Structures are given as C-alpha cells and as structure tokens.
A and B are shown apart, each in its own frame.
Chain A
C-alpha cells in the first residue's frame, strides 16, 4: 500500500503570498490531519478532516484553512504568508474508528520557507 503522499516536498514563497499544500492519504483512510512542525514550537495540530468535514481545529489564525475532497485527499491553504509560517507541514491519515482513536500514518511533509 502506498503511504501518505504530500506535494510539493519543498516550497519557497515570499511574505504576503499564499500557498496550497496537498496530501493524499493511504487508500481506505478517511481521516486526514495536518500538523505544523517548527524547532521552537515542535509539532502543533492544525486541523482534522473526516468525510469532507472539519472535525477539529487547532489554535491557528484564520489564514490557515483546509478542505477535504470526496476521495479523502486534502489540501491546506495559508494566505498572507508571514516569516513565522516557515515550517515543515505534516499530513497524517488514519483508518477511522468512530469509538477509538486510530494510529496516525504520517507523510514526509512539505518544507515551506517564507522569505
């Protein structure tokens, strides 16, 4: 089975621009979560989608948004980029169990650099 695939692997943007990151989950996984990883803050939860609906959201400004498509693929968008948005963005998928949290399977991440 193919793992979680994130594209692109690397992105360089300038302040004020917007960016879209893509994530393809493992086949059969309907839950997709996004995390931001930085040296200072570590791994922080952005949001989670299940069946095209946002189920949870972390404490990030409204410039961070996401969506999930009917095939479970997900995208996240960051508008009006700031220098502090430079980070590794990780996507994770899981085989959903409504009663018990399932292990997350992570992608390799998208490294975003804002200049």
Chain B
C-alpha cells in the first residue's frame, strides 16, 4: 500500500538554525514526490516537487530511493518559514491522486 510518513508533528527551531523536515514513503513503483505548505490563513500550495530539482525559498528536497525518503531541508530558517508542511506522493502517470503525510508544523522562534 502507498503510504507517506512524517514522523514529527511539530518541529521548533530558532531563526538561523538549519531545518530538516522528514518524509518517508512506501511505494513499489516510481513515485512523484511533492512538498506542500500551508501558511497561516492561506490555502495549501505547492512548495516543490522532486522532478524539478530546484530550490524554492531556500528549501531543497532530494529523493532517496534507497531509503525511500524525501526530506525537506533549509540551511538557515526564517520566521516566515513557520507553517504546516505536507509531504505527498503521486504514483505517477495520468492521475492527480495524492497520498499525503500527516504534516509537520514548523515553528521558527525569533
């Protein structure tokens, strides 16, 4: 069965500290992995996707198929990064069915 696991419900760091939000998945095929973010009082929005291999707002995520992980990283956290982060998996092909993790609330303290 397809599953996405985000082990931390809450991650609290100080401004300027490195951030790593963990995401592990289970899927036997070649999935598409995404990170979505929801800032306070805003709608859920795409942060980045693994096939783009780009850095958005200083965040990066590398797909590690051996460890079935897609951790989100940022070297120096900013207060405006405080938000709910969701890792999501798509099995690929012509479908928009996403399997979401339970989310991690990132709180960046001043």
Which residues of chain A have a CB within 8 Å of any CB of chain B?
A: 3-4, 31, 33, 35, 42-45, 48, 50, 55-56, 58, 90, 92, 94, 96, 98-109
Contact = CB atoms under 8 A, between A and B. Distances in A.
A45 B94 contact: no
B43 A31 contact: no
Contacts of B103: 42-43
Interface residues of B, number: 23
B74 interface: no
B101 A103 contact: no
A92 B96 contact: yes
Contacts, number: 62
A106 B96 CA distance: 12
A31 B96 contact: yes
Contact of A106 (B34, B44, B49, B95): B44
Q: Which 6 A-B pairs give the minimum distances between C-beta atoms?
A: A43-B100, A106-B44, A103-B46, A101-B90, A56-B97, A42-B102
Nearest to B94: A98
A56 B95 contact: yes
A104 B43 CA distance: 12
Given A101-B32, A103-B34, A58 B97 contact: yes
Given A101-B92, A103-B34, A48 B97 contact: yes
Contacts of A56: 95-97
